[in-house]
Amino acid sequence: MDSWLPISAKSHFSLANIPFGIISTSAASQPRVAVAIGDYALDLDCLARHQGFSQCTALEQAHLDIFSDASLNRFASLGRALHRDVRQYIQSLLRVDTPFPALLRDNSELRNKALILSQQITNHLPMTIGDYTDFFAGRNHAQTVGALFRGPDNALNPNYNHLPVAYHGRASSVVVSGTPLHRPKGQVMPPGAPAPVFKPCSRLDIELELGMFIARPNELGQPIAVDDADDYIFGYVLMNDWSARDIQAWEYVPLGPFNAKNFGTTISPWVVLADATEPFKTTGLPNDTNLQQYLKESNKENIVDFNLEVALCTEDGDSTVITRTSSKNLLWSWPQMIAHHTISGCNLRTGDLLGSGTISGLEERTQGSLLEQTRGGKSPIKLHGGHERIFVNDNDTIVMTGYAGTTKSGLVGFGECRGKILPCV
């Protein structure tokens, strides 16, 4: 599938992708809906205002104002079938053999208005997030971190292979890629000290995760069956669940992490729709546990195979890839996470964000957190330019990237999830 628009084979935003996001520009500061394509954002609000959707039978004219919204929530709530149709329609407009050449390809005035170079756009949070739930589905991460804290024989807690462990995260501080965050301060208990001290976090870590947005709600008291759960998935982003390990170690007993995580979570700006990832579904980590019925899936290939990478960029411009891994390192699928989240009767809402948990391999430089890579902060990792790191320094920038597919068929990727740590306020 080729486009009349020149798209580099290395672009994450091939014609096979068409991820949705919220943009603004200096010329038009009102946030609105767009899709990413090659080096451009295609402004769907502009397209809709200029009859670009006139041949899109799926989308009634009454719905076209969804593209002037400042979030994707209304679009998401219209359901998987509509997302599929609208994405295919946009692909049809951009195909070299588009059936509707007059609408965009041969309409230079609209092309100039609606196709905006990505350098000229500002990305905003794609969704208004209701609740944010973070799972712990990366078993290698759980295993390695558990071994650091409790020894290899007790690394995984007894519940781990029976249910997708999760906790409620902080929604207010989820920020879009490019938003800098200040290093948090907090209480820390130094080893052997008689009392805690108050200081800037000195073990500031990253967590490489996938994020998933919920499309449609369920009623309170009505669990979602695991085989129906795919219908509730809008799409995916990359996520950096920043973690203050020293604050976490002191505060987390008995109710879990709180201030160690709530100072910020960074997500990539473009939501890769669930339909775009269908060709890349595979199996995750094996689980030989006899699962409860509500977690048993008919479809055994329910993990999307994303190649993931983390780079650390120092203040003086040296960039080093510190992690290369794959989302196949997840034990639980999104449908299993949804089924478990709602089995109590808990209701999900359009725009809720679910995190996968840290995605790690077991080998060196495949691990999604520095805690794992530095063996609990004991072995520094070496970076280009002669730098070393145990945890994140002030003015370091973390760039996460990820994609599925091949350059031949077109990459289906996220672009960047980028965040810089500024010194304490």
Catalytic center residues: 141
- Which residues, 6+ apart, have CB-to-CB distance to 335 below 8 Å? 226, 227, 229, 230, 233, 297, 299, 302
Is there a binding annotation on residue 416?
A: no
Please answer whether residues 370 and 389 qualify as being in contact, where contact means their C-beta atoms are separated by less than 8 angstroms.
Answer: yes
3-state secondary structure 123-142: EECCCCCCCEEEECCCHHHH
State which of positions 293-332 bind its own copies (CB under 8 A): 293-294
Residue selected from 61, 81, 106, 168 as contacting its own copies according to rule CB under 8 A: 168
CB of 259 to its own copies, least distance (A): 4
Q: Which is nearer to its own copies, 260 or 308 (CB)?
A: 260
What percentage of the chain's residues is helix, strand, coil (to nearest 5)? Answer: 25, 25, 50
Is there a binding annotation on residue 65?
A: no
Site string for its own copies, 180-219 (x = CB under 8 A): -xx-xxxx-x-----xx-x---------------------
CB of 311 to its own copies, least distance (A): 24
Cα-only R_g, the chain: 22
CA 140 distance to own-chain centroid: 19
Residue selected from 3, 144, 259, 327 as contacting its own copies according to rule CB under 8 A: 259
Preceding peptide of 254 cis, ω within 30°: yes
Is there a binding annotation on residue 183?
A: no
**Residue 371 backbone dihedrals phi, psi, to 5 degrees:** -55, -45
Q: Which is nearer to its own copies, 108 or 159 (CB)?
A: 159
Q: Measure the CA–CA gap between 240 and 267, rounded to whole angstroms.
A: 6
CB of 237 to its own copies, least distance (A): 19
Is there a binding annotation on residue 136?
A: yes
Q: Measure the CA–CA gap between 185 and 199, rounded to whole angstroms.
A: 5
State which of positions 230-249 bind its own copies (CB under 8 A): 244, 247
Burial bucket for residue 9 (CB in 10 Å: 0-12, 13-18, 19+): exposed
Please answer whether residues 320 and 329 qualify as being in contact, where contact means their C-beta atoms are separated by less than 8 angstroms.
Answer: no
Q: State whether the Cα torsion 375-261-171-176 is positive or negative.
A: negative
Site string for its own copies, 350-389 (x = CB under 8 A): --x-------------------------------------
CB of 68 to its own copies, least distance (A): 22
CB of 135 to its own copies, least distance (A): 9
**Which residues are 115's β-sheet partners?**
42
Among 47-55, 61-69, 104-112, 337-345, the segment contacting its own copies (CB under 8 A): 337-345
Q: Which residues sit in the known binding site?
A: 134, 136, 150, 207, 209, 241, 248, 252, 261, 265, 358
Contacts with its own copies, residue ranges (CB under 8 A): 130-131, 136, 157-159, 162-163, 165-173, 175, 181-182, 184-187, 189, 195-196, 198, 220-223, 244, 247, 250-260, 262-264, 290, 292-294, 340-341, 343-349, 352, 425
